[in-house]
A and B are shown apart, each in its own frame.
Chain A
Amino acid sequence: MQRQVALERDTALDAPAPPARGRRTVLTPYYLLAPTLLFLAVFFAWPMFQALILAVQDNGRFSLGPLQRMADDVLFWEAIRNTILLTLIVVPAQVVLALIMSLLLVSGLRGAGLFLYAWAIPLGISDLAAGVVWLSIFNDRGYLNSALAGLGLGQTGFSFLSYEHPVSMFLAVAVAETWRATALVMVILLAGLQVIPKDYAEAAEVFGATTWQRIRHVTLPMLRPSLQVALIIRTILAFQAFAVVVALVGRNLPVMAEEAYRWYGDLRNPSVAAAWALLIMVFSLVNTVIYLRALRVRDEQLA
């Protein structure tokens, strides 16, 4: 027992394991990890492999048919374009807004605790619910048109969500997605701001740095690890944008996850659906690698 106490360490992140003296003791953590590893093997690694198999077979034989059908679909390029465009608009908007929010929260506002709670509320709201919430605002007789009418701008209402107005339709989805998921980025950035030692900011101030210079040259570089995590997680979630789009504009704006759903649910073709799943996975992986590389390169330049 006491041997075990000696072996246990709580913060040994990089430290090598201390010499093992009792066989039973050494195996304990592996027993504890086994259920998680087993579960992830069956419900994470295996379906990933299965998706690959499904996407390259037709009636049990190897075939590039499903990939071909996916690429030949009329909506293929449109779905990819919309997803990338949505990601390019939503992710930067979320990061900038979340950065402003977390900097405001640590700037010592009165009632910051209340603001924090209010701003964290969207964390609990699903993409489907977010789509419906903004549908009540953007629909033809919705609150936005009501407000515009109240201001004397257009008495008939504008069809924001109609396919005839692709820009407003697209922006409506972007606003709903930004509204819902900025809180997640904020929480990650706020946690990152917490670990930046106060001395740095104080030193910058002593040397006469303006608030902007302090944020630009002290806070942002120190926040890079959190920004990296937030960017990776948010971009991957943006590639899967689905229910928010369908709830707001239906089929007017095809996106990748919606196509995967359509091929599985409506067209009853799991192979092509798996091909889409695979494509989303490839997008996510490539994106993660790019972020890791891009943010590391800047790190070297700074050094």
Chain B
Amino acid sequence: MAVADTPQTLPPGAVQATDILPRTAARRKGPVRWPLYVAAILITLFLLLPIYLITIAALSPRAAVNDFPKSLVPRELSLETLLFFLNSRGVVASAWNSVMVGVITLVLSLVIGTPAGYALARFAFRGRDAFKILILTTRAFPIVILSIPLAVTFIQWGLYDTILAVALVHTALALPTTVLITSSIFVSVPRDVEEAALTLGCTPVGAFLRIALPLALPGLAAASLFTFVLSWNEVFAAAILTVSQRTLPAQVFTSLGDSPLPFRFAGGFALIVPSLVFIFFIRRYLFNMWGRVVR
């Protein structure tokens, strides 16, 4: 398994692309290989070209939206469209709300989910399999849809239209994944070191805090970023549960109907940029996150 022969320089839980993909030397001698490259390049174009297009759409002046036919290379670049979007009512406030919701969500899901992940990774106990199945089952549920009955509950609790309400639903959404990811991270943290600390007189809590946690920290950071992106991207619950305290996606979504195209393009671009940065940072962990879940 990739994790087992992860080089020492990588933090536990990280996977290098070369561990998953065969090395060049191990390539099979096939008859003709160029069709494979053509296919790979076509797929890359299909996946990346739209991102380029929304970027130039967001970086073109507002009037350019009416240009036809448009050119693949923009005539002029300007920040006018993006500034127009940022200066629109509620956009900056909603972006700030999104950041807050994301941070609350990642803190809540880490604080609640990490102990469970650690328990799954380190203990054998009655009901362990049942718990794993329960966690996997929740992933097979449309949790976001539950924000409708939750909205009714939140009105009774006085939580409706608060960023906390959105963060709570996002936590429910992220928690099963957090448990599974943290569990896979702790499995790949060497147990020997932790056991050594125990035999040298460390308490179990001390061994966890001083040994397992620091070793797992890079993986946990990646899991947090993943949770943040999940929350940053979520629209349905955020739009249902808020009226004045919109998150950025909810703000963009609810103004779709009555906003000009440049506003929407700038909004789409603004939603994508942070996600791209985060995905870049957690790319080594993506396989652990989804890969481990399979088994």
Contact = CB atoms under 8 A, between A and B. Distances in A.
A290 interface: no
Interface string B185-200: 0010001000100110
A129 B21 contact: no
Contacts of A233: 139-140
Contacts of B139: 233
B112 A36 contact: yes
Given A124-B229, A188-B294, A149 B68 contact: yes
Contacts of A9: 122-124
Interface in B100-153: 111-113, 115-116, 118-119, 121-129, 131, 134-135, 138-153
Given A4-B204, A264-B151, A284 B140 contact: yes
Given A112-B17, A121-B48, A146 B71 contact: yes
A44 B146 CA distance: 7
A132 B24 contact: no
Contacts of B236: 240, 242-243, 257, 261
B264 A247 contact: yes
Contact of A121 (B122, B265, B279): B279
A30 B275 CA distance: 35
Interface stretch (B6-14, B35-43, B87-95, B215-223): B35-43
Interface string B256-272: 11000100110110011
A141 B68 contact: yes
B233 A125 contact: yes
A32 B48 contact: no
Contacts of A215: none
A61 B113 CA distance: 38
B68 A146 contact: yes
A136 B55 CA distance: 10
B210 interface: no
A79 interface: no
A118 to B, nearest CB: 5
A81 to B, nearest CB: 19
A117 B145 contact: no
B80 interface: no
Q: Do most interface residues of chain B lie in helix, strand or loop, or is the interface mixed?
A: helix
Contacts of A208: none
B240 interface: yes
Nearest to B70: A146
B64 to A, nearest CB: 10
Interface stretch (A68-76, A84-92, A97-105): A97-105
A50 interface: yes
Contact of A118 (B48, B65, B126, B179): B48
Nearest to A18: B124
Given A18-B124, A47-B150, A132-B268, A141 B65 contact: yes
B186 to A, nearest CB: 8
Q: Do most interface residues of chain A lie in helix, strand or loop, or is the interface mixed?
A: helix
A250 interface: yes
Contact of A243 (B39, B68, B112, B253): B253
Q: Choose among A107, A211, A264, A288 the residue with the greatest number of B CB atoms under 10 Å from its CB.
A: A107
B61 interface: no
A277 B144 CA distance: 9
B84 interface: no
Given A8-B124, A133-B272, A126 B233 contact: yes
B83 interface: no
A265 B256 contact: no
A292 B47 CA distance: 31
Nearest to A277: B145
A14 interface: yes
B146 A133 contact: no
Contacts of A123: 279, 286
B53 A136 contact: yes
A35 B116 contact: yes
A113 interface: yes
Contacts of A179: 46-47, 50
Given A44-B143, A135-B264, A8 B123 contact: yes
A163 interface: no
A124 B279 contact: yes
The 7 closest A-B pairs by CB, nearest first: A191-B291, A132-B268, A124-B275, A126-B233, A108-B27, A113-B17, A146-B69
24 contacts: A1-B203, A8-B191, A12-B124, A28-B119, A33-B115, A43-B172, A53-B149, A101-B43, A104-B39, A108-B28, A109-B40, A121-B276, A124-B272, A126-B235, A126-B249, A129-B275, A132-B264, A149-B69, A157-B68, A187-B286, A194-B287, A211-B30, A265-B239, A281-B145
